[in-house]
Chains A and B, each alone.
Chain A
Amino acid sequence: MFFSLQTLYPLTNLYSNGLINKIFLRILLLVALSLCIITMSSWAQIPHFTKVDIAKILNTNLSVIKQDHRGFMWLGTEAGLYRYDGNDFNLMSNGSDSLAQFSITALYCDSSQIWYGCKDGSIYYLAQDQINHPYKPQEGLPSVPISGIVKDSQGRLWYSTYGEGVYVQTNDHVYNLNIEDGLLENQIYQMTIDPQDRIWVATDNGVSICQFTEGKKHIRNITRADGLPDEIVYSLCPSLTGMWLGFESNGFCHYSTADDSVDFQVENWQYGSVRTICQVVGNSLWIGTEDHGVLDCEFMHDGSLEMMRQIEETQMQECELIYYDQAGNIWFLLDQHLLFSGVGTLDILHHDLGDIQAVCQSPDDQVWVGTRKGLYVLHDGKLKYQQFPNENIISLYSDNNGKIWIGTFGNGIICWDPKTKRSLSLTEKEGLVNGSVFSIDGREDRLWLATLGGIIEVSNSKGILNGTRIPFKNLIAHTELSSNFFYKVYVDQDGKVWFGTDGQGVLNLTDDKVTNLLSEGLLPAKTVYCITEDDSGDFWFGTNGEGVFKYDGESWQHLGLEDGLSSQTITSIANDQSGHLIMIHEDGIDVYDPKNGTFRYFDENTGLDHLNPGLNVISAFDKESIWIGGQNSLIHYISDENMVQTYPSVIIDQIRLINEPIDYATKRKFSSHENFIEFDYVGIWYAAPQSVRYEYQLEGYDLDWKITRDQSISYSRLIPGDYTFRVRSVMNDQPILPTEQTYSFTINLPFWKRGWFLALMTLCAGGAFYGYQRYREQLISKRESIDRERIESQYEVLKAQINPHFLFNSFNTLAGIVEEDPDLAVEYIEKLSDYYRSIIQFRDLKLIPLDDELVLIDDFTFLLKKRFGKNLLVRKFIDETDYYIPPLTIQMLVENAVKHNIISRQKPLTISIRSENDEYLVVENNLQPKKTQEPSTRFGLQNIKTRFEILTKKKVVIEENDQSFSVSIPLIKRKDIK
């Protein structure tokens, strides 16, 4: 147990002090690797790869890789966590401060978080916000390296350590499972979870299977005593029926969980310790070894090992990790600095034989290849010459008697028995209507040939090499075709024979009766190159320039460029065991999934050269492993049921608003000034990252889609409105619609353009207008009332002045002085007339200057003084006269005083007119009311009050006490005149 830690398992180097800097994982090399699965020991070369030197780029060593659900590849290095999208490496952990802290030893990706465990026992997770959150359970963190992280179906976090066993985080606590609890060892090399939610850990003493239910630990151990071929288990890989276990010295085995036993183990293992195991599609398994590189194992359907071979390019290297990603790429993490990635379902053998014109896999699993220079067979990873060097072979057929039928261009057909090497050539001389045999198919001992001269039926082909007379039957007689060119013959499951013609459509031969599908209007395909029948009994026809037709016996469907087909001309077609259609065209291979309507393309991006295919270049004898011939290449396609990802996916990685990243899952509304927006998007296609193109459109701004290679686009000065950013990947100049990602957002109008504001403004304007109207109405009514008051006052004043009393008194006074002092009388008359003129002059005016009123008062006083003499005293104390008052106001007050008070020598009346604080003009008199009051309407005062109310806010103040009576009238300043 102890020695193995130090000597046999180099992973411990990672954990032991001082050895970190040992040469270890320097370069990352991505290679789209083409590797053979079956019966071959080596391939000639690796056709297509991309190299990335991680030592130069990241300056660190790589420890673990994992892919997240979006497609990003996460790389755990000795200096932090990196995200790789095929083009760029982004450091995601803030690992610059402490390298030791971020020396990553375990990685786990769930749907929203990336978890990583470090050499010092710390664990972090990276959430959607791309911030590193430390995992901090209250129980504390391990003090030894984390060797695995996984979450079970209940969302519980499990982490294994190298030295403290396994931990599980439940809702309440963190629990530890170690040797005291029954675990085999505290040093865990690898941890994985099986479909039954059980945690398997690999240790020096075997495998422990851990469960934690209702607070109880359940640990079951599988050791050598249980049949394991070795005690030291390094690697684990879940399978459908159990678990693959990789050992220190005895290779690997499969442990079946159904019968709790080892149901497969490899014999005579010579490749050292197994560091990693990865199960890929079908029955193939990849084994990474400590110093013998990568091994590729293929299993038979009965579970026995069909073949195992070493990948030449990885020989003598240590493979730490093998990873099969969502897109079918294989990644190798090689100790000697390499990481390979390739298309796991496609292997390519290069050769120099020129065009392969026909491929045929015989029932004994031999792959036969027809070229311009004869017949070859695939042997030991190479094409080996067999026979017929001068024949231009264009079709091949292997019958169930082991004979190979070879169709040539111009030289008829050859029947050859590989066992006896006997052959028979049948040409036009032997009765063949035409020597160019384009296609051969058969059933039991009947054969049908498609030639450039019609269709030939060969019955009783079994005894042909024994000299039996060959009964050729020309079926062309049964048809009425204008062309005798036949390209394809296909015998379906029911024994019906289908023929593809040049321009004449598809012919069907059932019970010796020939039907022309084109002329009968059943199927519009004209020139048909290839035919296949799928498992559900539908027929597929590949045509020249017309795309592909599907025919179910009654109706047909068309598949063309608009559906994603790469080419309208399909030369060969076959269907695999997953129900996918493999279609060969000039530039590559289209794999179509009819269930989902999706395509997977193999072309120069995935390592295929120009194919230049013939009409018989596909052989699907084994529907799981299909052989395809091309120009200088032989391609082995392995059926992949999942066909997970068939094109570059597109991810909107970041959206920045005015240079600041936003949480675009929630934020979709921006204010009017937030109008500068940038989109970063990534297309994940590791096989050929440089070939990914995008098209994007900002609906509401761009009128059309724009095609670009850029992974970023910015829009500035967007006007308010609704926008939708759409981006999708483009392949073969066709947009890949399912990859489309969208982000809708709204830039709001500035607040002064928004509805509520406009409504408010309308309301305000309406209110203001209404207010103004009201004010105007008030003003008009005020004016009207002023006018009315004035007219009334004029009337009163006139009435008062024409009051006979006043005239009588005035004339009396005049009569008294006219003789005594004629001059005074003249003056009196002048004043009287002035007074009346003033009254007449002022009565129409709203306001007059105070001065004018005072002049009038002087005249009026003069007239009164002549009558009352010294018994009446009128005093004026006016400081400032730059005021206005309604006309005849003071006159009316003075007249009132004279009218209502006794004026005698004993009781002289004093009227004072004075200004007060520049605010009021006060007319005051001592109060000595007449005993017999003159009839009063009180009109005068009321009239004054009303007039002032209209003109000013200040009130007219009337004060009356025993001594005096005063009226204060507001002085109106010039500027206050409305």
Chain B
Amino acid sequence: MSMLRSLCHLIMVCLLSQSQLGGQVDLFRADDGVVEFTSDAPLELIKANSKVLRGAIDPTENTFAFTIDVKSFEGFNSNLQRTHFNENYLETSKYPRATFAGKIIEQIDWDSEGEYQLRAKGILDIHGVKQERIIPSKVTLFSDRVIIRSEFSVALKEHDIDIPKIVAQKISEEIRVGIEITLYKQNSN
């Protein structure tokens, strides 16, 4: 696990740091992916989304990294809810980013267009708690871009996100997360 962790860290640094931009390899990149989450609790349905998902895929290494500014989530049912989300639950000042980075299990030819069902194995870091996850995604390959659609669930207790008992009926223990992102091939140099 620690091996995978350090690998993921490396991937993060490599793929997302600006210094890599002048790079030697073709990457797929995007800064405007959409993340949406849904909490479907018995008493309340909460939805929020963010359009600032950044991501990169290195097809030669089969690695990937995604990150999002947690503060950027909008929606919710009230402003107060959003404040609670940022200050109490996700503690965004302490943990401003959520990330998912790792390796794609399937080996595919990134040059052949088409639709693939891929599984991404990596470390999901939410609220400062790292969890290894395998997340299946639908990947559509074009010559110049790749569209990734994925849905998965995040159990709050796995990421040490404590919900006060008094609102337990209003916030689901499992949050459904959906992402859609189009990454464009970066030309070398």
- Show the binding face of A for B, using Cβ within 8 Å: 138-140, 142-143, 164, 172-176, 178, 180-182, 215-217
Contact = CB atoms under 8 A, between A and B. Distances in A.
A138 B117 contact: no
Interface of B: 1, 3-4, 7, 103, 105-106, 117, 119, 121, 132-136, 152-153, 155, 158
A216 B130 CA distance: 12
A219 to B, nearest CB: 9
Contacts of B4: 180-181
B134 A181 contact: no
A159 to B, nearest CB: 13
A110 B168 CA distance: 39
B7 A180 contact: yes
A139 B3 contact: no
A139 B134 contact: yes
The residue among B1, B103, B155 with the most chain A CB atoms within 10 A of its own CB is B1
B7 A176 contact: no
Nearest to A175: B132
Contacts of B103: 180
A178 B1 CA distance: 11
Nearest to A163: B107
B9 to A, nearest CB: 13
A49 B42 CA distance: 65
Contacts, number: 42
A799 to B, nearest CB: 89
Given A173-B133, A176-B105, A180-B4, A138 B158 contact: no
B106 A143 contact: yes
B117 A140 contact: yes
| Chain B interface, >50% SS class | strand
Contact of B105 (A164, A173, A181, A217): A164
B1 A181 contact: yes
B134 A175 contact: yes
Contacts of B155: 172
A176 B119 CA distance: 11
Contacts of B7: 180
Nearest to B155: A172
A783 B133 CA distance: 95
Contacts of A175: 132, 134
Nearest to B158: A172
Contact of A216 (B1, B105, B106, B119): B1
A180 B105 CA distance: 11
B159 to A, nearest CB: 12
A139 B106 contact: no
Contacts of B134: 139-140, 173-176
Contacts of A182: 3
A173 B158 CA distance: 11
Of listed A174, A181, A215, residue having the most chain B CB within 10 A: A181
A138 B135 CA distance: 8
A139 B158 contact: no
Contacts of B1: 181, 215-217
B133 A180 contact: no
B115 to A, nearest CB: 14
A174 B1 CA distance: 14
B118 to A, nearest CB: 9
A414 B87 CA distance: 103
A176 B121 contact: yes
A176 B106 CA distance: 12
Contacts of A181: 1, 3-4
A184 to B, nearest CB: 13
Given A176-B121, A176-B134, A138 B3 contact: no
B106 A138 contact: no
Max count, chain A CB within 10 A of own CB: residue among B4, B117, B158: B4
Contacts of B105: 142-143, 164, 176, 178
A176 B105 CA distance: 9
B132 A139 contact: no
Given A164-B105, A176-B105, A180-B7, A138 B152 contact: yes
What 6 pairs across the A-B complex have the smallest Cβ distances? A140-B136, A139-B134, A140-B119, A217-B1, A176-B121, A216-B1
A407 B4 CA distance: 77
A313 B136 CA distance: 49
A140 B119 CA distance: 7
7 contacts: A138-B136, A140-B134, A143-B106, A164-B105, A172-B155, A216-B1, A217-B1
A173 B4 CA distance: 17
Contact of B135 (A139, A143, A215): A139
Contacts of A180: 3-4, 7, 103
Contacts of B152: 138
Contacts of B135: 139
Contacts of A174: 134
Contacts of A139: 119, 133-136
Nearest to B153: A138
Contacts of B133: 139, 173
A180 B103 CA distance: 9
A404 B117 CA distance: 77
Given A173-B132, A180-B4, 14 more contacts: A138-B152, A138-B153, A139-B119, A139-B134, A139-B136, A140-B119, A142-B105, A143-B106, A172-B158, A176-B105, A176-B121, A181-B3, A181-B4, A216-B1
Nearest to A176: B121
Nearest to A143: B106
B171 to A, nearest CB: 19
A21 to B, nearest CB: 26
B59 to A, nearest CB: 17
A138 B132 CA distance: 14
A164 B103 CA distance: 12
A181 B135 CA distance: 17
Residue among A140, A172, A178, A180 with the most chain B CB within 10 A? A140
A142 B121 CA distance: 12
Nearest to A139: B134
Contacts of B3: 180-182
B78 to A, nearest CB: 31
A176 B4 CA distance: 11
Contacts of A176: 105, 121, 134
Contacts of A216: 1
Contacts of B136: 138-140
Contacts of B121: 176, 178
A932 B67 CA distance: 120
A181 B4 CA distance: 6
A705 to B, nearest CB: 57
